[in-house]
Amino acid sequence: MSINLNKNIENSFQGHLVPCKIKQTSPTSELKDFSNNRSIRGRVLEGKQVSESALLMEGVKPIAQGSLYNYEREGNSIRLIEEMEKWNDFLRNMTNATNINNNVIVGRRSVKRGTDKKEIEQIHKKSKTLGFTHFLLSIPHELILLILSHLSRQDLIQVSLASKTIRQVLRPYLFCQVKTPWKDLITTWNQTNKPVKIENVQLIEKLRLTTCCSKNEWTFPFAELFKHNNLTSLELCTSGSTNFFKYTSADTQLQVLEIHAAKPGSIFNMEHLTPFRKLHKLSLQDFEIESFEEDEDCCRNLSILKLENCTWRYPFQLENFGRNKIDSLTLIYSNHFVISERFKMFLNYPHFRKLRHLSISNCEKNLKLTLSVHIMKLIESIPTLRTLKLGGNIYNETLNNFTGADWQNCINYVGAQNVKILYSSFLS
């Protein structure tokens, strides 16, 4: 290390040494510049002292040995003195750093010799944890969301248990979705006026109720619950009709509502959701949709509709949800309604004016949905349609013969009238 430094310092001083007067405290000293091989003489000036070791490292060797050299800043010699002082400080820092590194190396060797494998593994694990923590603290929010999209909920919980710092970083992402049964919700609400026992309820963006209770559905103050501004999504299982939502305050921030009927055939009516003015996504499962008239003022922002095993009767039509509002429609069935006349009538004469994405899935093994001319009628009836997804037990001879195969994603696809049809004739 010292040899390389001497070479670098010697090269840096080439052409910078100028004649100056140098004198030791008792005898006269002669200094030689190794790069130019010329002698430099000088005389003493009080007040400036540089150690001999620094001179040796600078490539300047005294003829007469001594402990200290006094320099006078005279003329151009000030440049030499300043450079030598600078390198003296640098070498002192390098020496200290080298000593520290040596101590660290010795310490590591002693650790390797004196500790067992478990302690060594803990040291390496700690260094990796610190690196991952620094990574989480430095990356933007959007990148964290992208990473978390590839993790399951259980994986996120396990990662948050790695350390206290990591848990603090992942806390908003961990508590943005919480679940609780009705019993715990009522108990916590009566004690703390909070839905769950966490310190900051503003972190909650989605609340899922895992049980159903008819009494609590009608008596719980949903209006107070929805006053938490960040709570924008609610998922619950109802024991009957959704009529209790009508008595909720209209000033809510709810944007996503997912409702499952504990008893198939429970009644749903769009008029029940009138208070949810900012609702843009609605998901219903196992409901019988009661006939209602289309109302443009009801849920003006509703654009995504998902129906799973939901039925309806004449004269109701799906367009009554909002023919000028619905942008994406998903229909999933595992019962006989998928081959009913009401469903086929929708396939033949849909009247959505702004629908761009339509997905139909038949999960019933014994009931095959056969589409003959329905596909072209469906596409022609919805001029704004861009993607059509058909999955499950669905058969269409034309699609079987003329679609291209994407074996990597296990789907067939074809383009017709600017509509991309994704077709997979197997149970998903």
pLDDT of 252 strictly over 50: yes
Calpha distance 247→9 (Å, rounded) = 84
Lowest mean pLDDT among 18-22, 148-152, 177-181: 18-22
Is residue 55 domain-resident?
yes
Tell me the three state secondary structure of residue 196.
Answer: coil
Is residue 193 located within the same domain as residue 206? yes
Q: Is the residue at 426 inside a domain?
A: yes
- 238: nearest Cα among 283, 279, 303: 283
Query: 188 and 288: one domain?
Result: yes
Say which range, 23-27, 81-85, 303-307, has the weakest mean pLDDT: 23-27
**How many whole angstroms from its chain centre is CA 321?**
34
Q: Is residue 336 part of a domain?
A: no
Separation between Cα atoms, residue 411 and residue 54, nearest integer Å: 76
Model pLDDT, residue 414: 64
**Per-residue pLDDT at 106:** 42
Within this chain, do residues 193 and 315 fall inside the same structural domain, yes or no? yes
- The Cα 137–Cα 141 span in angstroms is 10
Note the pTM of the prediction, 2 decimals.
0.66
Is residue 238 pLDDT above 60, yes or no? yes
Residue range of the domain that includes 415:
350-428
Q: What is the pLDDT of residue 344?
A: 86
Q: How many distinct structural domains can be found in the chain? A: 4
Point out the least confidently predicted range of 23-37, 103-117, 296-310: 23-37
How much is the pLDDT for 181? 93
What confidence score (pLDDT) does residue 405 get?
57
pLDDT at 12 over 90: no
Structure tokens at 11: 């090269």
Assess whether 131 and 102 both reside in one domain: no
In a domain, 321, yes or no: yes
Other beta carbons within 10 angstroms of residue 39's beta carbon come to 11
Rounded Cα–Cα distance for residues 131 and 133 (Å): 5
Residue at 345 is within a domain: no
* CA 66, chain centre distance (Å): 66
Beta strands in 219-374 (DSSP E): 233-238, 256-261, 266-268, 281-285, 287-289, 304-308, 311-312, 328-333, 357-362, 369-370
Q: Does 399 or 75 have the greater pLDDT score?
A: 399
pLDDT digits (tens, 9 = 90+) for 48-71: 444 444 444 444 444 333 333 333
| pLDDT at res. 194 | 84
Residue 207, CA distances (Å) to 102, 244, 359, 411 in order: 56, 18, 27, 34
Query: What token pair was written down for 269?
Result: 């009516």
Same domain flag for 410 and 384: yes
Q: What percent of the chain is modeled with pLDDT above 70?
A: 63
**pLDDT tens profile 368-406:** 887 766 777 888 888 899 999 988 888 777 666 655 555
Q: Could you tell me if 149 and 155 are in contact, meaning their C-beta atoms sit under 8 angstroms apart?
A: no
Report which secondary-structure segment, H or E, holds 106: helix 77-114
Q: Distance between CA 234 and CA 231 in Å, rounded? A: 8
Q: Answer for the pair 375, 360: CB distance below 8 angstroms, yes or no.
A: no
Q: What is the enclosing helix (H) or strand (E) of 413?
A: strand 411-416
136-139-142-144 Cα dihedral, nearest 10 degrees: -20
- Domain-ending residue, one of 273, 291, 326: 326
Q: Tell me, yes or no, whether 337 lies in a domain.
A: no
- Rg (C-alpha) for the chain, rounded Å, is 39
Is 394:427 a contact under the CB 8 Å cutoff?
Answer: no
Mean local confidence (pLDDT), 117-122: 54
β-strand pairing of 328-333 with 304-308: parallel
Flag whether 380 is in a domain. yes
All residues at 6 or more sequence positions from 355 whose CB lies less than 8 Å from its CB, including other chains: 326, 327, 328, 329, 382, 384, 385
Residue 427: HSE in the Cβ half-sphere, 13 Å Cα cutoff: 8
Please tell me whether residues 357 and 375 are part of one structural domain: yes
Last residue of a domain, one of 91, 112, 133: 112
Is residue 424 in some structural domain? yes
CA distance 365 to 386: 28
Looking at the fold, whether 357 and 409 belong to one and the same domain comes out as yes
Helix (H) or strand (E) holding 62: strand 60-62
Backbone angles phi, psi at 153, to 5 degrees: -60, -40
**What are the φ and ψ backbone dihedral angles of 80, each rounded to 5 degrees?**
-60, -45
Same domain, 27 and 122: no
Greatest mean pLDDT range, 19-23, 248-252, 279-283, 389-393:
279-283
Amino acid at 258: E
Kindly tell me if the per-residue pLDDT of 310 is higher than 60.
yes
List own/partner pairs for 122-126 with CB under 8 A and 24 or more apart: none
The answer on pLDDT for 249 being more than 70 is yes
Same domain, 107 and 120: no
Looking at residue 200, which CATH number applies to its domain?
Answer: 3.80.10
**Torsion over CA of 98, 102, 104 and 109, rounded to 10 degrees?**
160
Both tokens assigned to 40: 């430099």
Same domain, 228 and 287: yes
Is the CB of residue 357 less than 8 Å from the CB of residue 326?
no
Amino acid 117: pLDDT: 56
Same domain, 315 and 418: no
| Tokens standing for residue 200 | 């900051």
CB atoms within 10 A of CB 335: 15
Average pLDDT value for residue range 186-202: 86
The sheet with strand 22-24 has its strands ordered as 22-24, 68-71, 49-51
Look at residues 79, 95, 112 and tell me which one is the last residue of a structural domain.
112
Specify whether 299 is located in the same domain as 187. Answer: yes
Which pair of structure tokens corresponds to residue 342? 């009401």
Quick check: 424 pLDDT over 70?
Answer: yes
